[in-house]
Amino acid sequence: MTRALRGYVASALAGLLAGTLYHLLGATSPAPPWIALAGLLGILLGEHATRSLIGCLRGPRRRQSPADQAPNAPSRPSS
């Protein structure tokens, strides 16, 4: 399991634990309503789609190899 995935799993488990405790204590959750969560999901999807679209429009990025880089300036002989 990757480090990022472990963070997501730990966050989900902490949320489940908090939800269980809220229910057992008879408290209401301070979480936003479902419509707000759907809006947040839309924001994330829009951000990802925009990033992907811009990447496609720019084309593939070309990595420079050492041979493509400018040669070093000629060295001067020391006197």
**Domain assignment of residue 48, yes or no:** yes
**Domain assignment of residue 77, yes or no:** no
**Domain assignment of residue 20, yes or no:** yes
Domain count, the chain: 1
pTM over 0.75, yes/no: no
**Domain assignment of residue 44, yes or no:** yes
pLDDT of residue 30: 76
pLDDT of residue 69: 61
**Domain assignment of residue 32, yes or no:** yes
Give the domain extent around 52. 3-57
Cα dihedral 15, 19, 22, 27 sign: positive
Tokens of 18: 């908090």
**Domain assignment of residue 21, yes or no:** yes
How many Å apart are CA 38 and CA 12, to the nearest integer?
A: 17
pLDDT along the chain (79 residues), means of 10: 89 90 88 85 93 88 64 59
pLDDT of residue 50: 94
Cα dihedral 40, 41, 45, 46 sign: negative
**Domain assignment of residue 64, yes or no:** no
How many Å apart are CA 20 and CA 50, to the nearest integer?
A: 37
**Domain assignment of residue 7, yes or no:** yes
